[in-house]
Amino acid sequence: MVLKILLLLSIILQLIAVLTAIKLTKITKFNFSWMLFTIALTSMAFMRCGEYLQLVGDKNMKLPTDFFVWLGATTSVCFAVGVFFVKKIFNNITISNHIKAQTEKRILSAILSTEEKERWRFSKELHDGLGPLLSSTKMSLTALKKDELSQYNNDIVNNTLYVLEEAIRSLREVSNNLSPHTLTDFGLARATQNFINRSTKGSDIEIKFSTNLKKERFDTEVEVILYRVICELINNSLKHAQCSNITLKLFYENSIIFINYKDDGKGFNPQAVMDVGMGLSNINSRISSLKGQCEIVSSPDNGMYTNITVDISNNERGKI
């Protein structure tokens, strides 16, 4: 009795497995392995049916031995050959995962470069459009000052000149933040030094910056991304770390750019803060768009340490 139930159960399960294999045949675009598995599972179900019929039917009824031998052999051959074809499915999965990762990187890279182009366009518009207008207004006002003016009018002109100078200075700053002219004109090392000078003005924090970069220039995309990453690291230390010392090393050797960054601040748990802001995750995605490596090491009370390497020979355009 138990054997009968077991045989019935195995027939039902095998038929379900046959249906699943047929479905997988369609999903895997008629991969040969699933067709072979379907045949093997069907012939196994037939074998179980034969055994069941023998068990419940006339005791003298005997199914031909050939029936079982043929089905058994078909099952073995189909399973054995099917396994070889399954390998092809895994190869295809690996290839499609690789293509997906490449596409994601390309999309990210396109987003970053569009963002940079927009920043550059906006910065140029401010610098070349609004800048000269403000400067010529200042010139006219300065000319007006040469005339004999009443004390009251003179005060108004002086005040307007002061406000205009502030506006020109802040326009230059905004335009420079949007797209640093030093980076475009003089490269990564000089732009980094400029940024350090501007950010530590009037602060007690000391940034020790060392580099072996002289006049080397890299592709604009590489320079802009690394500059933005360095700025974010420095801004984070100034904003969150309560540190007193920052060390930044920027080195270039054998077509690899190394950035070592360290602060002696209060540290943080990198896993716990990944969703807090966009800064750290942007660093990771920017570096990965250059096919580089980025490691952020930190723990509470132990400061933070970042090691970044970018092999520019991995990038379509590297050193120029």
Ligand X SMILES: Nc1ncnc2c1ncn2[C@@H]1O[C@H](COP(=O)(O)OP(=O)(O)O)[C@@H](O)[C@H]1O
Report DSSP letters for 159-171, one per residue: HHHHHHHHHHHHH
**Binding residue for ligand X (CB under 6 A) from 34, 37, 46, 268?**
268
Closest by CA position to 85, among listed 149, 17, 21, 168 = 21
207 sits in the region (left: phi over 0; alpha: psi -120 to 50; else beta) called beta
Pick the stretch among 16-24, 122-130, 173-181, 268-276 that binds ligand X (CB under 6 A): 268-276
Residue of 265, 287, 294, 310 that binds ligand X (CB under 6 A): 265
- Residue type at position 228: R
With the C-alpha atoms ordered 69, 74, 80, 83, is the resulting torsion angle positive or negative? negative
Answer yes or no whether residue 270 interacts with Mg ion by CB under 5 A: no
Binding mask 200-239 for Mg ion (x = CB under 5 A): ------------------------------------x---
Instruction: Say how far apart CA 134 and CA 19 lie, in whole Å.
Output: 77
Residue 34 binds to ligand X (criterion: CB under 6 A)? no
Residue range at the interface with Mg ion (CB under 5 A); choices 3-11, 75-83, 275-283, 297-305: 275-283
Residue nearest to ligand X (CB): 277
In the range 123-182, which residues lie near Mg ion by CB under 5 A? Answer: none
Per-residue contact track with ligand X, 182 to 221, x per CB under 6 A?
Answer: ----------------------------------------
| Region label for 77, one of left (φ > 0), alpha (ψ between -120 and 50) or beta (otherwise) | alpha
Q: Does 277 bind ligand X (CB under 6 A)?
A: yes
DSSP secondary structure letters along 77-105 = HHHHHHHHHHHHHHHHHHHHHHHHHHHHH
**Nearer residue to Mg ion within complex by CB, 50 or 279:** 279
Q: CB of 210: closest distance to ligand X in angstroms?
A: 19
Q: How far is CA 142 from CA 131, 133, 154, 168, 287, in A?
A: 17, 14, 11, 15, 49
- Put the strands of the sheet holding 245-253 in their side by side order: 206-211, 245-253, 256-263, 304-311, 293-298
Taking CB under 6 A as the criterion, the residue among 7, 304, 310, 312 binding ligand X is 304
273 interacts with, out of ligand X, Mg ion, none, CB within 5 to 8 A per kind: ligand X
Residues 6 or more apart in contact with residue 213 via CB below 8 angstroms: 187, 188, 189, 250, 251, 252
Using the rule CB under 5 A, give the single segment among 61-69, 75-83, 201-209, 278-286 that binds Mg ion. Answer: 278-286
Binding site residues, ligand X, CB under 6 A: 236-237, 240-241, 263, 265-268, 273, 276-280, 304
Binding site residues, Mg ion, CB under 5 A: 236, 279
